[in-house]
Amino acid sequence: MNRDLATLVTIGKRAFEEKDFFRAEKLLREAIGGGANFADLYYILGLIYHQWGKLHQAVEYFEKSIALNRDYTEALLSLSITLNDMGRYEEAKAIYRRASRSVAHPGEPSRGGLFRGKIANLHAELGELYLALGQFEESIREYRKALTVAPEFPDLRVRLAVALREAGRIAEGLEEVERVLADHPGNVSALVQQGILLYLSGARGPARRAWEEAHYRDPLNKLVQLYLNTLDRESAGE
């Protein structure tokens, strides 16, 4: 791959990571047109098209990715999810089984957990994309799908709480972070979100306690300090 093509790929991937999807699509399609025939580029484009609701195009690009790497687990799982979203359930199940076989090896029981983690992360990735575009209900739906697969992942539940918060569903968001804190009392991310949700609901005292606990556990967390400073300024102005 020549230098110019490599630059297109690098900048295109960076644009995708920064959630600049229109730029990422343009650059990656240009790279592919120039000869960068790589499975991961088709996979990223498939994710972009899925996020945009262009499901037929998403299927096309996931299939192109798999044609180049038949054991590309993430592409197989994404294709299965997309087919399921289109109502093509039998095809989705067949692809799901194929993805399962691609990571399943006898004598390695931990592979089941790895496989579930991959599925959960794909749903979470879609949830994050929807959240970035302000499509909160779609984001909530994807995070709930991720938790159906991997309910023991506290970070997924915290991200669900964020999506619920952005959708204005404060009470439901609080329920989710409280579930996390019941099992992981020192989870800083959950404590931070609990503080935000309590603050938004008007409960400044409990919000302060949540943020103080987060600060105690992570004293270098500048965001928590900012929230506490905000409360101090508000108290001084009253």
In a domain, 85, yes or no: no
CB 218 within 8 A of CB 212: no
In a domain, 59, yes or no: no
CATH code for position 192: 1.25.40.10
Residue whose pair of structure tokens reads 């102005």 in the numeric block: 237
Read off the tokens for 112. 């089941």
- The domain in which residue 156 lies consists of 140-238
Each residue of 57-93: pLDDT tens digit?
Answer: 999 999 999 998 887 778 888 898 899 889 998 998 8
DSSP state of 153: -
Q: Which residues contact 224 (CB under 8 A, 6 or more apart)?
A: 188, 192, 195, 211, 214, 215, 218
Each residue of 165-209: pLDDT tens digit?
Answer: 999 999 999 999 999 999 998 899 999 999 999 999 999 999 999
Each residue of 114-163: pLDDT tens digit?
Answer: 566 777 878 888 888 788 778 899 999 999 988 988 888 888 899 999 99
> pTM of the prediction?
0.59
In a domain, 8, yes or no: no
Q: Which residues contact 51 (CB under 8 A, 6 or more apart)?
A: 21, 126, 129, 130, 133
* pLDDT in the model for residue 74: 81
In a domain, 148, yes or no: yes
Counted domains in the chain: 1
